[in-house]
Amino acid sequence: MHIGSKITVGILRGGPSSEHEVSLQTGENVLKNLHPAKYTPRDILIDKEGVWHINGASRKPGQALKGVDVAFNALHGEYGEDGRVQHILEHFSVPYTGSKLFSSILAMNKILTKQRVLEEGMKTPMYAVVRVEGRNREEAILSAFRSVPLPAIIKPVNLGSSVGMTIARDFVSFESGIRKALAVASVALVEEFIKGKEASCGVIEGFRGKDIYSLLPIEIRPPSDKDFFDYEAKYSGKSQEICPGNFSPEEMTELQRLAVLAHRALGLRHYSRSDFIVTPKRGIYFLEANNAAAVGLTPESLMPKALRAVGSDLPEFLDHVITLALAP
């Protein structure tokens, strides 16, 4: 990169994950919102088999990244958030946006994440784990059923966008939910379903003069036919996402504090977004942290709405994050 010349940004999108289509939308939105006077975008599409492409032609990662000053990681789910693409980018010494390798592995694993935030004194729903390997699966399902009160949320331990997630209200739906989660992952997480307001709060490093700047918490109201913010509710545009959310001043402050605490505790980088349940009597429960593209950068996603609520926008955010990634 020469002084005065434009910065070449490789936008990685697609990927071999269950969230391939969402990642395509994220990447497209990033491409549209980069300042054209400052950046030269390079659209790097990774197909469902993990093959990298530029202008429709397959390329090895090293070839696709040649001449790229910085990579914008717009990949969702496995490969993009679990440390694998971070490992590739580090191997080729290409600066990139989002969390580094180890923190990506940690944040992608919902069990490790829960254990880490519990160490920080945060509340998180009661949970149990069912693995593909290990003891008899029927026995493991029964043990988990007995240890977590119903209704329960069942989800794969390392997928995003609520892929493979179900709510169980009896043993039949509990067992089918476990099987559904284990069809797409080797470990299923069972959590107590806590009724309350769904909240999400994003943070950005080095923004507006703050070490870690907290955006305003968003309240998520899924459509009336949904029990929770599932994949369809997230990307169909049918959910109500209110920013700032309808929380008390004390709840707002605490959500912002917890989002910063989660970002630090998990060693996340540049930006992240944490999800919570706010209950009137039991307080605030941490659910999970999202890093890289999982914070939501599609037109229907939460992050652009939170940015607008504080008088910012996606072009400013992208410019800021790319600057962070390029900083020595």
The tens digit of pLDDT for each residue in 293-325 reads 778 898 878 999 999 999 999 999 999 999 999
Residue 13: is its pLDDT beyond 60?
yes
Q: Which fold has domain 106-122+195-326?
A: D-amino Acid Aminotransferase; Chain A, domain 1 (3.30.470)
Lookup: tokens for 113 = 């994440």
Lookup: tokens for 320 = 């800021």
Lookup: tokens for 283 = 């307080």
**Tokens 């999108």 label which residue?**
13
Residue 4 binned pLDDT confidence (cut-offs 50, 70, 90): low
Domains in the chain: boundaries: 7-98, 106-122+195-326, 127-192
Residue 236, pLDDT score: 52
Q: Pick the closest to residue 87 from 74, 73, 66, 68 (CA basis).
A: 73
Residue 231 binned pLDDT confidence (cut-offs 50, 70, 90): very low
Q: Pick the closest to residue 214 from 225, 233, 201 (CA basis).
A: 201
Lookup: tokens for 41 = 């975008």
Lookup: tokens for 237 = 């545009």
Residue 139, pLDDT score: 85
Name the CA radius of gyration of the chain, rounded. Answer: 20
What is the C-alpha to C-alpha distance for residues 249 and 253, in angstroms, rounded to an integer?
6
Residue 251, pLDDT score: 97
Contact between residue 260 and residue 201 where contact means Cβ atoms under 8 Å apart: no
Q: Which positions ≥6 away from 248 have C-beta within 8 Å?
A: none
Q: Tell me which of 2-6, 9-13, 286-290, 304-308 is least confident.
A: 2-6
Sign of CA dihedral 290, 291, 293, 299: positive
Tell me if residue 213 falls in helix, strand or coil: strand
Residue 235, pLDDT score: 47
Residue 199, pLDDT score: 97
φ and ψ of 202, to 5 deg: -95, 155
Q: Which fold has domain 7-98?
A: Rossmann fold (3.40.50)
* Cα dist from 225 to 22, 255, 314, whole Å: 22, 27, 31
Asked whether the bond before 151 is cis by omega within 30 degrees of 0, the reply is: yes
Residue-wise burial string across 275-285, b where 16 or more C-beta atoms lie within 10 A, e elsewhere:
bbbbeeeeebb
DSSP-derived secondary structure letter, 295: G
Is the model more confident about 117 or about 4?
117
Q: Which fold has domain 127-192?
A: Dna Ligase; domain 1 (3.30.1490)
Contact between residue 258 and residue 201 where contact means Cβ atoms under 8 Å apart: yes
**Tokens 């709060």 label which residue?**
201
The tens digit of pLDDT for each residue in 64-97 reads 999 999 999 999 988 988 889 999 999 999 999 9
Percent of the chain's residues with pLDDT above 90: 72
Q: Structure pTM?
A: 0.89
What is the C-alpha to C-alpha distance for residues 298 and 302, in angstroms, rounded to an integer?
8
